[in-house]
A and B are shown apart, each in its own frame.
Chain A
Amino acid sequence: MNLESIVKAVNDGMIPPAIYSDEEIFRLERERIFGRSWMYLAHESEIPEPGDYVVRRIVEDSFIVVRDEHGEVRVLANVCLHRGMQVCRAELGNASHFRCPYHAWTYKNTGELVGLPFHEDAFGGDANLSRKEMALMPAPRLAIHRGLIFASLDENAPPLEEHMGGFDYFLDFYVNQSEAGVEVRGPQRWIVDANWKIGAENFSGDSYHTPHTHASVVEIGLFREPKANKRKEGALYFAGGGGGTSYKLPERDFAANLAYVGYPPEMIERMRARWTTAQRALISDGPFMVSAATLVPNLSLVHNWPVVNAEGQVVPFISIRLWQPISATRTEVISWFAVDKLAPAWFKELSYKSYLMCFGSSGMFEQDDVENFTSLTAVAKGQFAQRILLNGRMGLARDGSFLHEPIADWPGPGRAFTGYGEYNQREVLRRWGEWMLDTGGSGSNGSAR
């Protein structure tokens, strides 16, 4: 199949398995999606002080994400301008200057080159190699939203706000519970033999898998919610660049619902003060509580509220995660725990425990998800398997109309449905198709690549 017919099939909700396994398709994704879109790199709380840095990647490209001596966040290519050596090889640290291990070219943590051995003798001094004109290459675009640090390799990328669109309304439930924002721990990092899109799609809207894949966590009494009947009462929303799942809440009362998922009164009051009327309405009038979500292309979020101890206490957690592709069939999962900075200490500890039990490298939900993701990827390699088109049409009639109407009085931006349906996965893949067919030649997105 050529790319046009692949995208056409995907837009009809029928998915060629090759999009999960074909290296040629991945080569195009690398250029047309990861080379252009907004990529999440780190959270500001990972680099709170001047000189704090972490090293992160956009596919193969390594970047130093650093807070410089003046407090400004920078994203600098981790490539010495001399011979291309990685300047930082530790994955985190604190430094006012970076000194390349190969020939000791030394850069300020703003990226500027300040020193190189025998500058006069070897290069003829500043007259011939002007240090002022040389700096570690900054990512063409950098944007920070609610502490989330994003970069784009495309200097003509639309603003992050435009990319995110109405999804920011939902993102606030995860990372904007108070004026202080969240702090993160981790990340855990591990490699799975799965295509990066499978997790991104799953987190965006697969409430259908929950009752079956995650039956075990309900059986053992870890999580009350995912029983099949209850799960389909949740809303599946998509707005701007992202979408997600939610659970139906028991009351029509803001505070009672947040207490139901385990937030203490002081946090609830801060949320009340922090969120807009329209945001509060999702929880009081929907009433819905956000759960998993994805901001395209590869950033996902989780919010769940398991039973965290033998006393039956329910404590919610938030996780931020990146599906960092390595190849068509391998993905590094990078998963952070996040919690509101102003949360009481007891809550932070129990919420952390709740996260580790459910998601991340050892999480009991996650364990079963990854088994599905790797199996699907392995199957998608088969030449015979590639003759079928996977059915992603849940919620659609044969003629392409919706089986159910969108929620009429949805308080948030975008579109939402209750009941089962792959509305959001189709949205994620529709955007994927747009990127893939945009060769960047004459469009607004174009830039020299």
Chain B
Amino acid sequence: MRSAPLTSTEGLARVTLELHHEVTMFLYEEAEALDNGRFRAWLDLLTEDIAYRMPIRVTAAHTLADSLLDGADHFHEDRYSLEKRVHRFETDHAWTEDPPSRTRRFVSNVRAWTAADGDDVIVKSYLLLFRSRGDVREPDWVSAERTDVLRRAGTRFQIARRLIAVDESVLRTQNLAVFL
């Protein structure tokens, strides 16, 4: 039940300063696409075999290895389901995001390693999502650490794996009609 598999970075080499800059800019630009509702452009940043996962966080004893549930998620997506989600936002009837939320994704604490098998880069980052809807509601926040596997695709990167380790066990946002 316990212990969602996190990509291990133990023993891996940190990337060069130049590569670190490149992956950081990649994450910033990804956040920019999402914050501006360019969901098609965002899909283009994902590989065909993308595994996009956000396991459920539980309140558990500190002595346990992990408080992310294995096999119980908020998101457990592949290319098909992410395409459907984006397609839905393109219809005229996705009420939950019409009018759209105003979102701001703050990406920080970027750390990157070269994967053991060569070209892939493993990137950990902190994400703080600010989400404002309408004019009377308090804004929502979602805080998480993301572990990504970035894969070289020609001259650029694509996200092959994303694991979102959310900090709240009970989300304080009305739904996850947002990508993290």
Contact = CB atoms under 8 A, between A and B. Distances in A.
Interface of A: 89-93, 185-193, 212-217, 219-220, 222, 309-310, 332, 337, 352-353, 356-357, 360-364, 366-368, 370-372, 374, 378
Contact of A191 (B72, B96, B172, B176): B172
Interface stretch (B10-18, B33-41, B75-83): B75-83
23 contacts: A91-B58, A91-B169, A93-B60, A190-B172, A191-B171, A191-B172, A213-B95, A214-B93, A216-B88, A219-B91, A337-B72, A353-B76, A353-B81, A356-B73, A357-B85, A361-B74, A367-B97, A368-B95, A368-B96, A370-B174, A371-B174, A372-B95, A374-B174
A190 B137 contact: no
Interface of B: 54, 56, 58-61, 69, 71-78, 80-81, 84-85, 87-88, 91, 93-97, 136-137, 169-177
Contact of A357 (B54, B84, B96): B84
B137 A193 contact: yes
Given A91-B58, A185-B72, A310-B80, 11 more contacts: A89-B59, A186-B69, A188-B56, A352-B76, A353-B78, A356-B81, A357-B84, A362-B175, A371-B95, A372-B95, A378-B137
A356 B94 contact: no
Contacts of B137: 193, 374, 378
A189 B168 CA distance: 10
Nearest to B60: A90
A196 to B, nearest CB: 14
Contact of A217 (B88, B169, B171): B88
Contacts of B80: 309-310
A191 B73 contact: no
Contacts of A190: 170-175
A214 B95 CA distance: 9
Contacts of A189: 56, 169-171
A367 B177 contact: yes
A366 B175 contact: yes
Contacts of B58: 90-92
Given A189-B169, A372-B95, A220 B88 contact: yes
Given A193-B137, A220-B88, A357 B81 contact: yes
A378 B174 contact: no
A367 to B, nearest CB: 4
A370 B56 contact: no
Contacts of A378: 136-137
A91 B60 contact: yes
Contacts of A89: 59
A332 B172 CA distance: 9
B61 A93 contact: yes
B62 to A, nearest CB: 9
A353 B56 CA distance: 15
A352 B91 CA distance: 25
B84 A364 contact: yes
A215 B91 contact: yes
B71 A219 contact: no
A309 B137 CA distance: 36
A337 B69 CA distance: 14
A315 B174 CA distance: 27
Contacts of B173: 190
A329 to B, nearest CB: 11
A353 B175 CA distance: 17
Contacts of A91: 58-60, 169
Contacts of B81: 353, 356-357
A214 B96 CA distance: 11
A135 B106 CA distance: 49
B176 A362 contact: yes
A364 B85 contact: yes
A362 B56 CA distance: 12
B71 to A, nearest CB: 6
A366 B177 CA distance: 10
A356 B76 contact: yes
Contacts of B71: 185
Those 8 A-B pairs whose CB atoms lie nearest each other, nearest first: A190-B171, A362-B176, A215-B93, A216-B93, A367-B96, A371-B96, A189-B170, A216-B91
Contacts of A191: 170-172
